[in-house]
Amino acid sequence: MTAEQDLEQIATGPQFVGARIVQPNDPVRPRLFVLHRHVDVSGVSGTGVIADGVEWPDGTASIRWRGEHPKIDFADRGVPTLHFVHGHSGATEVEYLDQDPAAAISTDDAPAALRRVIDIALGKPVRCPQCGRPGACRCIADRHAARVDVVLGAVLAYLARTQGAAS
């Protein structure tokens, strides 16, 4: 195996899933956030703002816990890992402190057809990840990731249609 193949295998291996390579002159910046806990499921951290964090430009994240026993945690797969490990089915949320880079883009520029595609996607039922029901259930599972997948699927299909029509 050549050095380039070794590097490619390392960069695409499972330890780098979710991270991306940031070049020295890339204009991306770290994003600050806090973990805001609504319900203390474990009885350890309390409620309110329990940790301060940074989402790094490569997609990884780190948090510093508040309280009498502070510590630092790293998430190589970024904020989705923080949601998975510390989210407790919606009991804890990541709240960004700085402006979302996408917020600088005006939603007024979106075409009416794209708005309609997203509106329809938001209305589709999403199965509960715990019990599998598409409608209301007694689980307190977070359906956010599944909802994002439905909306992204609709937007990608819309983009494929519009780009195909443009060519």
- Domain residue extents for the chain: 3-101, 106-166
pLDDT at 109 (0 to 100):
63
Distance in angstroms (rounded) separating the CA atoms of residues 83 and 8: 29
Q: What is the mean pLDDT of residues 47-52?
A: 93
* Mean pLDDT of all residues in 18-39: 85
Question: Do residues 61 and 30 lie in contact, with contact meaning Cβ atoms separated by under 8 Å?
Answer: no
Most confident of 6-10, 73-77, 136-140: 73-77
**Average pLDDT of span 129-151:** 81
pTM reported for the whole predicted model: 0.51
pLDDT single digits (tens) 59-106 = 899 999 999 989 999 998 888 888 888 887 888 888 888 765 555 555
